[in-house]
Every structure is written in structure tokens, then in C-alpha cells.
Amino acid sequence: MRLTNSIPWASVTPNLVFNLVTVNPRTSANWYNGTTNTPFCVPGISIPTCLNLTTTTYTNALLANAQLNPPLCTAPTLSANSVAATCAGDADGSIDLTTTGGNPTPFDFLWSNGAITEDISGLTAGTYTVTVSTTVGGCSVTASYTVADGAPVVTYYADADGDTYGDPLVTSMSCTGAPSGFVADNTDCDDNNLAINPGAAEVCNGIDDNCNGLSDDGLTFLDYCVDVDGDGYGAGVATSSCNPIQGSVTVAGDCDDNNLAVNPGATEVCDLIDNDCDGLIDEGVQSTFYADLDGDTYGDASSSVMACVAPMGYVADNTDCDDNNMAVNPAATEVCDLIDNDCDGLIDEGVQLTFYADVDGDTYGDASSSVQACTAPLGFVSDNTDCNDNNAAINPGAAEVCNGIDDDCDGLTDDGLIFLDYYVDGDGDGYGAGAATSSCNPIPGSVLVAGDCDDLNPAVNPGATEVCNAIDDDCNGLADDGLNFRNLLCRC
């Protein structure tokens, strides 16, 4: 048989046109529409006619998806319910397979793990493939299903004291959560004591409270020393502790733990005992005393001793500058004797007198030339008011005379004398003219009377008699005044 535009056992579309050639022995064929087999000569052509034809043209306009010489079986549809393993790694998973449809039955099952049953169990996590075939006809279908892994198995630890921290030595395995009385933690170092676990605070008790392998770690340890006398300072070998120790203190250094007044905090007093335990006796509290050989209560700084009280012949003072002279000491009064009586480092200071040179021997000294002495040296006097020590006539005791000199050294020249105004008298008539000159001595060629109106004519002056000469003879500003005039030809 030859089939045009088709393949054996294939589905064909409606209105497929093909030729069927029959030969002896005759061949027959059926259409399969997915439900029943029908001879392909029907409808349209009677079977006898169809069988006697050598070539037949057939148009199928009635059947959809017809098959030529179809198989005699169909595979079922598969579905399944997979059950995961209880715990990771467990072999208790399963697959419950369901077949729907398919014929003929029964079916053959073949799983990838070799099982031949419809359902399989005792499975570990993984993917399993099954092929389901019809016993007759060989129709088959293949599908794969996955069995999920279970929850991981966790080790839990007993928590007997209920502090949420477990005992690493007591365990229980589970993949479904912690059993009652068990926790995931395994760091409790004492599961019978609620107060001891890694979350606890370390306290001073000699126990590893926080389970870090150390006792009392992270706490402040102090050194305690026994304090027998109760003065707050201890002695002896120290004991380290994070708690106070009864009868002990944290401050050491007591050098006499049987004497309450002796310890490093005590004040050193002058009693021949090391009161403050610094290894020194009476340091800083002894006083320095100085030898007082002359008994004036002032000591010699170059001769001293250290003591709590002054030994015989010693005093606290050290300012005597001559400890062999009772009259010499800082309390003495300085006198002019070429000795430093009051021990201030100066000799005769404040008691010496100043004397001044008297070169001219007038008993008055020159202020610019002086010496300090207890008594006046030769040629010196105590006075310093001479303004010219080279002239014995000039000194504060001299009388001022008219000489243009400050004779009495009062800073003024010719002071206290009578000064008169003198006028030049050129014509010698006893009357002067011009500007006056003041002088305490008469001035030659000058007179005391002014008013001469013609100092070149001795006949003209304020004392002259007016005569008839047309001249102001008496210097009153008028000419010929006081005379009788008779006529114009005669003057007067």
C-alpha cells in the first residue's frame, strides 16, 4: 500500500486526499479518530465496491485528526505526591504515584532506583524518574518527581538549671527543634547553678561565673596589707584580693604597725622617731641653731648645729657679724667708729658726716668737693655754701658791695645796694641827657639830673636863666619866655 502525503501511524488533517491501491491479497484499512476504528471506505463508498477497486480516491471530510492504522493502546496521565525525608539524610521519604486514563490495563512501572511498584518509599532526598507502560501495545509515559531533604539534625544540650545555656556533656539530636529541657547552646560550665553561665557577670567569689575559663577575671584586684594599729596603713607581705580583707588596708608602708601615730601619713615631729616612715628621723623638723659666743643673743652663721631645741650657747639667730664683740650685732646702733656695728655689711653708714673743701680758708666749703668722715679732715668744713672757694672775700658771710659780683653767695649780684639813674653830661653843666643808666656807683661824665635840652651848650639847661636870644635857655620848651618885648625891631 502506498499513502500519499502521509506517514505511517501519523495524525492526518481533515479533507486529506490520498489514493489507496489494492492488490491481491486485498488490503483493508481503518480510520482511528481517537475513540473507535472505522473502515476508511465508509462513508461514501460501499465496502464491496471499495474492495473491488484497484485505485480509490478518498476525501475525509468527517473525521478530525484521523490516524491511519492506529495503535491498539494509550498511555495514562501521571501525577504524584512527594513526601520529604523527615530529617536531612534520612531514608523515609516517599512518592505516591497516581495514574489517570490509559488502556489497556494493567500498567508496568519502572523507577530509576529499580523499583517496579506504583508507589515507592524509604527514599532519601533526590529526583526519581518513573516510566509507566501498557502491558499490551507498549504505550508508555515518563515523569520525574523530587523528594525534598528533611530539616538538618541539630545537637541540643541539656539545660538543667534553666539559664538558657546548655551542658556540653549532655546532648540530644533532633531535626524538629529542641526537646524539652534542652537548648542549642553548649557553653554552660556549671549546669546546676543558674547564676553561672557565659552571660553572667563575673563577681568576686573565686568562681568562674561567666564560663570563660578564668575565675574573678576582669575584676579589680588590690593588694591588702595587715593594719594592726588601725591607722589606715598596713605592713608585711601584701595579699591580692578583689574584695576587702578584714583588718587589712590597701596602703602599705607602715614602719611601726604597733604605733598609731607612726605611718606614712603622719607629720614628722622632732622626737627622735621616724614618724612619717620615710627612713629619716626628724627630717625637716629639726631647727638650726648657731653659736653665740659673746652672749648678745645673735648667732654666728658659720658655726651651727641641728637640734629640736637650742643647745647651751646656741641661738636660733645667725646674723651676728662679730660673735666676739657683744656690742656688734644687728640690733646695735651704728656709730661712727670705722666698724660695722649693726651687721648690715656697711661701715658707719648713716652716721658719717659730709665735709666740704675750704680752699680759700674762709670757713665756707665748696659743695662740689666733699668727703664722708666722722670728723672734718684738714682743709674741709661742714659748710657747703661758698660760691667761690678761691676768693676768701666771697662767701655767705661777706657784705655785698657794688662790684658786679655775688659777694654774699645768695645768687644775686650787688643786691641790697642803692642804684641811681645816671645821665651823660656832655657839656659839663651838671645836667644830663639821653637814656639813663642805673648804677650803684657814680658814673664818670654822668650826672643824676636829666633834662638838658642841648647837652653841647653849657649855657642851656634846666637851671639856666632865659635870655633874649631866641633860644630855649632853661629847657622848658619855650624860647625867650618871661621877657618884655617892646617893638618888632627890638627883640625884647
- The average pLDDT across 47-59 equals 43
CA distance 18 to 3: 6
Structure confidence by residue, pLDDT tens digits, 227-247: 999 999 999 999 999 999 999
Judge whether residue 30 has pLDDT over 90.
Answer: no
- The average pLDDT across 319-333 equals 95
- The average pLDDT across 401-410 equals 92
The answer to whether residue 262 sits within a structural domain is no
CA distance 233 to 200: 35
Per DSSP, what are the bridge partners of residue 37? 32
| Boundary-marking domain end, from 129, 147, 165 | 147
Structure confidence by residue, pLDDT tens digits, 68-82: 445 589 999 999 999
The answer to whether residue 23 sits within a structural domain is yes
**Residue 63: DSSP 8-state:** -
Judge whether residue 38 has pLDDT over 60.
Answer: no
Judge whether residue 49 has pLDDT over 60.
Answer: no
Judge whether residue 39 has pLDDT over 70.
Answer: no
Judge whether residue 117 has pLDDT over 90.
Answer: yes
Judge whether residue 125 has pLDDT over 80.
Answer: yes
- The average pLDDT across 103-110 equals 94
Q: What percent of the chain has pLDDT over 70?
A: 84
Any idea which of 58-62, 129-133, 357-361 has the lowest mean pLDDT?
58-62
- The average pLDDT across 273-291 equals 94
Judge whether residue 62 has pLDDT over 80.
Answer: no
Summary mean pLDDT of the chain: 86
The answer to whether residue 206 sits within a structural domain is no
Domain count, the chain: 2
Contact 289, 279 (CB under 8 A): no
Judge whether residue 6 has pLDDT over 60.
Answer: no
> Does residue 84 sit in the same domain as residue 135?
yes
The answer to whether residue 280 sits within a structural domain is no
What's the grid cell of residue 238? 601584701
Contact 164, 185 (CB under 8 A): yes
Residue 372 Cα distances to 119, 304, 343, 348, 359, angstroms: 146, 38, 20, 10, 17
Contact 309, 298 (CB under 8 A): no
pLDDT of residue 14: 38
What's the grid cell of residue 434? 639821653
The answer to whether residue 474 sits within a structural domain is no
What's the grid cell of residue 264? 606614712
pLDDT of residue 304: 95
> Does residue 33 sit in the same domain as residue 57?
yes
> Does residue 132 sit in the same domain as residue 89?
yes
- The average pLDDT across 395-404 equals 92
> Does residue 86 sit in the same domain as residue 140?
yes
Judge whether residue 198 has pLDDT over 60.
Answer: yes
Q: Band the pLDDT of 138: cuts 50, 70, 90.
A: confident
Q: Under DSSP, is residue 369 helix (H, G, I), strand (E, B) or coil?
A: strand
Per DSSP, what are the bridge partners of residue 182? 158
Q: Band the pLDDT of 136: cuts 50, 70, 90.
A: confident
CA distance 265 to 230: 13
> Does residue 31 sit in the same domain as residue 91?
no
Grid cell 539559664 is found at 163
Contact 150, 87 (CB under 8 A): yes
**Residue 66: DSSP 8-state:** E
Judge whether residue 20 has pLDDT over 80.
Answer: no
pLDDT of residue 13: 36
Query: CA 393, 394, 399, 400: dihedral to nearest 10 degrees?
Result: 120
Residue 313: closest CA among 301, 297, 328: 297
Per DSSP, what are the bridge partners of residue 12? 66
- The average pLDDT across 2-31 equals 38
pLDDT of residue 414: 87
| Boundary-marking domain end, from 94, 122, 147 | 147
* Residue 367 region by backbone torsions, left for phi larger than 0, else alpha for psi between -120 and 50, else beta: alpha
Any idea which of 356-360, 380-384, 483-487 has the lowest mean pLDDT?
483-487
pLDDT of residue 42: 39
CATH value at residue 107: 2.60.40
Judge whether residue 256 has pLDDT over 90.
Answer: yes
| Boundary-marking domain end, from 68, 85, 109 | 68
Range of the domain at 24: 11-68
> Does residue 81 sit in the same domain as residue 128?
yes
> Does residue 82 sit in the same domain as residue 62?
no
Q: Band the pLDDT of 487: cuts 50, 70, 90.
A: low
The answer to whether residue 46 sits within a structural domain is yes
pLDDT of residue 71: 56
The answer to whether residue 42 sits within a structural domain is yes
The answer to whether residue 112 sits within a structural domain is yes
pLDDT of residue 484: 83
For 124-266, strand residue ranges (E) read 126-134, 140-147, 154-158, 167-174, 182-183, 222-226, 235-241, 248-249
CA distance 391 to 406: 12
What's the grid cell of residue 435? 637814656
